[in-house]
Amino acid sequence: MIVEDNPTDVFLIKEALRAHRLDVDLRIFQDGEEAIRLIQLLDSDDSQRCPHLILIDLNLPKADGFEVLKRMRDSRRCAEVPVIVMTSSAAQPDRERSKSLGVDAYFRKQVGYDESLEIGALIKALLR
């Protein structure tokens, strides 16, 4: 599951998955409210599967990444899903708040194409 409003970043994530030979089904959400609605659905319908991994940007429209993270960690069914924060923020308070919400990894968005593909190795490691 990807929660990201920037189409270029979504493209780079897909490229990283291809480069690391990860064949996954993606669900892409462009704002925090969409992701929160999914979490609510998952908690109310036991027949729905939780995602295996979530990549989330912190700066999202409608509800920020921190709110989505909080809802995920409070989820009745999906609280243990690994989460990677993928953001342009290098601010220490963002890192600390992410850590307090139980993220598994914090990936700073890169400027270069090759560096951006490194997210694939992180995803591969967490899916094992």
pLDDT-based confidence at 115, cuts 50/70/90?
Answer: confident
Domain 2-127, CATH: 3.40.50.2300
| pLDDT for residue 105 is more than 90 | yes
CA angle 33, 61, 113 (to 5 degrees): 115
| Backbone torsion region of residue 82, taken as left when φ is above 0, otherwise alpha when ψ lies between -120 and 50, otherwise beta | beta
Q: Calculate mean pLDDT across residues 92-109.
A: 93
pLDDT digits (tens, 9 = 90+) for 11-66: 999 999 999 999 899 999 999 999 999 999 999 999 999 999 999 999 999 999 99
For the entire predicted model, the pTM comes to: 0.90
Domain boundaries, the chain: 2-127
